[in-house]
Amino acid sequence: MKEISVIAAGNAAEAGQLLQEYPQSVLMAGGTDLLVLRKLKLIAPQVIVTLKSAPGVPAVRQEADGEFAIGAFATLSDIAAHPSIRQKVPMLAKAAAAVASVQVRNKATLGGNLCLMSRCWFFNRSPFWRTEFPDCRKASGGDRCYVVPKSRKGCFALQSGDTAGPLVALGARLRLVSVRGERIVDIEAFYLGDGIRYLDLSAGEILTEVLLPPPAPAGAFVKFRPQDNMDFATFTLSVVPPVGRSGARIVVGCSASRPLRARAAEKMLDAGAPAEEIARKTAEEARLVSFVRGPVDFKKQVIAARMADILAGLEGQPQ
């Protein structure tokens, strides 16, 4: 086994500089996904850069105007148990608590979950398995996607972090830091919709904080898996009800290469359309093409059914 160096950076800018200095380097947050990727020989880092010991990195704070600033290195267990998050943004706490197992959540971070590498049956397997699919665009830079063989370009690996959907629904922004400075991006624009270049992150740029606007009315989050186990979601649904007649958000996550906004269904929810029609429109509007984690028709049927359940539960909430 090749020797790997671990370097502790003092701040995000320093970590970004190290990532650029060492070509075969990776940033480690909780390390829960990094270890799996290395075991499958999908990455072969020579240098691991960590920020875990940097002062103040995992902080969760609420500003005077009600906005939350959540450090990207806060663990999912911390977020799931945080009193203010549980009270003000319970859908985020529920999403964090839905990830994998307690042991994983105690190490895994919010930033790691948001930046989780897009996943596919033809990629996230052993090297022996991948030899049977030598033309995979993601695995080998080939000219084929085995999920959508007729596609002439692009990769359809799935965005898989459970917390992405709720944060899109909540209108979160992300603070990205590098030696060039920092920038704030809307989380919806952070996901580029391609399974290979799936995040809007430049070389040496690091996600350091998630910024949440003052909490919206209590919404709903559902993670669906055919079995109640630690597996990745077949899909997630995140719904924020309207205030008056505007502001509804409906997001289908973990079923495409980016979280999907159901914008037409959102307008129907704003207008007070019947729940059955909104649920049906949500499923129709979701542009699903991947059969990974379940056939497309099956996913759409269950999305409609779970969406109807969510709307029934939201009827009694104040708006």
Summarised one tens digit per residue, pLDDT across range 211-268 is: 999 987 789 999 999 887 889 999 999 999 999 899 999 999 999 999 999 999 999 9
How much is the pLDDT for 216?
74
What residue numbers bound the domain in which 261 lies? 220-314
| In a domain? residue 44 | no
**Would the pLDDT of 62 be above 90?**
no
* CATH number of the domain enclosing 296: 3.30.390.50
| In a domain? residue 157 | no
**Would the pLDDT of 319 be above 60?**
no
Question: Mean pLDDT across the stretch 125-137?
Answer: 95
In 3-state terms, what secondary structure has residue 305? helix
| In a domain? residue 90 | no
Q: What is the pLDDT of residues 191-209, one digit of tens each?
A: 999 999 999 999 999 999 9
| In a domain? residue 267 | yes
Closest by CA to 73, choosing from 101, 45, 50, is 50
As a 3-state breakdown, the chain gives helix, strand, coil percent values, each rounded to 5, of 30, 20, 45
Residue with the larger pLDDT of the pair 29 and 58 = 29
Enter the DSSP assignment of 54.
S
How much is the pLDDT for 316?
61
Computed over every residue of the chain, the mean pLDDT equals 94
| In a domain? residue 260 | yes
Spell out where the chain has E strands: 5-8, 25-28, 47-50, 60-62, 68-71, 173-178, 181-186, 206-212, 220-224, 235-240, 249-253, 260-261
Instruction: Report how many domains make up the chain.
Output: 1
How much is the pLDDT for 56?
73
Residues 217 and 241 sit within 8 Å (Cβ to Cβ): yes
Residue with the larger pLDDT of the pair 56 and 278 = 278
| In a domain? residue 282 | yes
Region of poorest pLDDT, from 144-153, 160-169, 222-231, 304-313 = 222-231
| In a domain? residue 302 | yes
Q: What is the pLDDT of residues 66-92, one digit of tens each?
A: 899 999 999 999 999 999 999 999 999
How much is the pLDDT for 30?
93
Looking at the chain, the whole-number percentage of residues with pLDDT higher than 70 is 98
| In a domain? residue 122 | no
